[in-house]
């Protein structure tokens, strides 16, 4: 295990580490002290001064979110919108596309369940076709098959970068090269990868990207972001508008904003926006390469230890794997394991069918237990997790 990462500082900055073992970072991470304090302090300002007045006083802190997100993704701040979740961000981009009957969406089999609902919605309402790109032998999207499926009817490529219910990392940049060569818009769901590894939208080649604050970025719940490439932005009109997203010129005319904030509402959690900006700055302070390495080492250690337990199977696929570790046991159902571990002060989560429904149906797996690690977790916590898991079995 690398000794260059200051784990002691990471744990000192994480108050919740003193109380429990938190292996549910793919659900919601424990926020670090600077993020939690920024959230509390903003809310206290609202309590003492009023919401509008605090918004005016904290204009720089609110604006910091956009510049921080731009640094995180290697884009401009005008290509960033604040959203209250990754799902809201994804839906805002998806429904802004003018898809018509007969148009085709190509999607990977690990697509998140909420995204599938939106696909089915447009299939029912507009006659849009959904085509699933098969997985390759490693369980990740087959880029060659994707390339072969491109034709004149394909209007959108969708990919979930890291599935909620498995440890693989899809080859997002390879998909981006296919999308660029085909001149097809590319929507990347980075909900589980943002904050876990470097994300460079220029290197990946996606045109739209959604992410959440609460997972590996360690921000508050109710926060997220949307990236839209400027060259595509001019072609997108949000499905819903308000007088923040568009300027009201007269009682009969309006003009859309020229930046990605056309996807925003004026009313939002200002405290959340400030705290998410702090969370992004905090992650950048550690360095996303260092974070990725630290998480990868911890996850590899956990997978190795699980492989030594009789009756336990690790369900993760992929050439590259993330900090999400999924498993099932022959002896005890996943939901009972989760409850027994929680009673011992260890947070994990379950992988429902809705996490990755197409992949789940294709693989025929039983319900899974998910242990998702972050850089503030430790080898000692893995030791205790293994011991408690063996006792629960």
Q: What digits encode the pLDDT tens for the residues 216-262?
A: 999 999 999 999 999 999 899 999 999 999 999 999 999 999 999 99
- For residue 174, what are its two tokens? 């390879």
Give SS3 for 255: strand
Please give the model's pTM, rounded to 2 decimal places. 0.96
**Tokens 């990462």, residue?**
5
Mention every residue, 6+ apart, whose C-beta is less than 8 A from residue 175: 108, 141, 143, 146, 157, 159, 186, 205
The residue count of the chain comes to 393
pLDDT in tens, 143-152: 999 999 999 9
pLDDT, tens only, 362-379: 998 899 999 999 999 999
Half-sphere exposure for 228 (CA within 13 Å, toward CB): 29
User: Which SS3 state, helix, strand or coil, does residue 159 take?
Assistant: strand
Please compute Rg for the chain using Cα positions. 21
The class of domain 35-285 in CATH terms is alpha beta
- Confidence bin at 2 (pLDDT 50/70/90): very low
Helix (H, G, I), strand (E, B) or coil at 101: coil
CATH class name, domain 7-27+287-392: alpha beta
56: Cβ contacts below 8 Å, ≥ 6 apart? none
205 φ/ψ sector (left φ>0, alpha ψ -120 to 50, else beta): left
* DSSP assignment letter at 17: G
Q: Boundaries of CATH 3.90.1150.10 in the chain?
A: 7-27+287-392
Mean pLDDT of the chain: 96
Q: Let me know: does 94 contact 120? Beta carbons within 8 Å.
A: no
Span(s) in the chain for CATH 3.40.640.10: 35-285
Confidence of residue 3 (pLDDT cuts 50, 70, 90): low
d(CA 340, CA 143): 41
**pLDDT digit string, tens, across residues 277-336:** 999 999 999 999 999 999 999 999 999 999 999 999 999 999 999 999 999 998 999 999
Distance CA 70, CA 84 (A): 18
Q: Structure tokens of 133? A: 């790109």
Tell me how far apart the alpha carbons of residues 361 and 157 are, in angstroms, rounded to a whole number: 21
Q: Is the pLDDT of residue 360 over 90?
A: no
Q: Give the whole-angstrom CA distance, residue 92 versus residue 210.
A: 10
- N-to-C CA span, the chain: 28
Backbone dihedral region for residue 247 (phi beyond 0: left; psi -120 to 50: alpha; all else: beta): beta
Report the C-alpha gap between 372 and 368 in whole angstroms: 12
Beta strands in 220-293 (DSSP E): 224-228, 246-248, 254-256
> Comparing C-alpha atoms, which of 337, 285, 320, 242 is closest to residue 23?
337
């Amino acid at each position: 295990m690398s000794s260059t990462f200051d784990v002691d500082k990471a744990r000192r900055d994480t108050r919740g580490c003193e109380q429990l073992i938190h292996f549910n970072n793919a659900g919601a991470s424990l926020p670090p002290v600077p993020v939690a304090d920024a959230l509390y302090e903003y809310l206290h300002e609202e309590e003492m001064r009023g919401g509008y007045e605090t918004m005016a006083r904290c204009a720089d802190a609110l604006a910091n979110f956009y510049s921080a997100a731009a640094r995180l993704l290697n884009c401009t701040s005008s290509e960033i919108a604040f959203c209250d979740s990754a799902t809201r961000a994804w839906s805002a981009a998806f429904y802004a596309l003018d898809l018509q009957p007969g148009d085709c969406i190509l999607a990977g089999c690990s697509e998140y369940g909420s995204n599938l609902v939106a696909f089915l919605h447009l299939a029912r309402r507009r006659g849009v076709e959904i085509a699933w790109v098969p997985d390759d032998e490693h369980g990740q999207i087959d880029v060659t098959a994707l390339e072969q499926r491109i034709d004149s009817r394909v209007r959108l490529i969708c990919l979930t970068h890291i599935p909620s219910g498995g440890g693989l990392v899809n080859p997002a940049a390879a998909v981006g090269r296919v999308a660029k060569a085909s001149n097809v818009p590319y929507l990347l769901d980075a909900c589980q990868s943002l904050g876990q590894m470097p994300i460079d939208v220029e290197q990946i080649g996606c045109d739209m990207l959604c992410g959440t604050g609460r997972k590996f970025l360690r921000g508050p719940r109710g926060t997220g972001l949307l990236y839209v490439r400027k060259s595509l932005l001019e072609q997108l009109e949000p499905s819903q508008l308000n007088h923040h997203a568009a300027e009201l010129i007269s009682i009969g005319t309006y003009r859309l904003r020229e930046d990605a904030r056309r996807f925003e509402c004026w009313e939002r959690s200002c405290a959340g926006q400030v705290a998410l900006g702090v969370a992004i700055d905090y992650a950048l302070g550690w360095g996303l390469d260092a974070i990725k390495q630290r998480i990868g080492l911890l996850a590899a250690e956990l997978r190795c230890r699980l492989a030594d337990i009789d009756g336990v199977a690790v369900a993760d696929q992929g050439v590259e794997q993330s900090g999400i570790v999924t498993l099932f046991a022959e002896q005890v159902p996943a939901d009972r394991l989760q409850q027994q571990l929680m009673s011992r002060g260890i947070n994990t989560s379950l992988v429902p069918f809705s996490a990755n429904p197409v992949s789940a149906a294709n693989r025929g797996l039983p319900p899974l237990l998910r242990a998702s690690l972050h850089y503030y977790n430790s080898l000692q916590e893995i030791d205790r997790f293994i011991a408690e898991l063996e006792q629960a079995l």
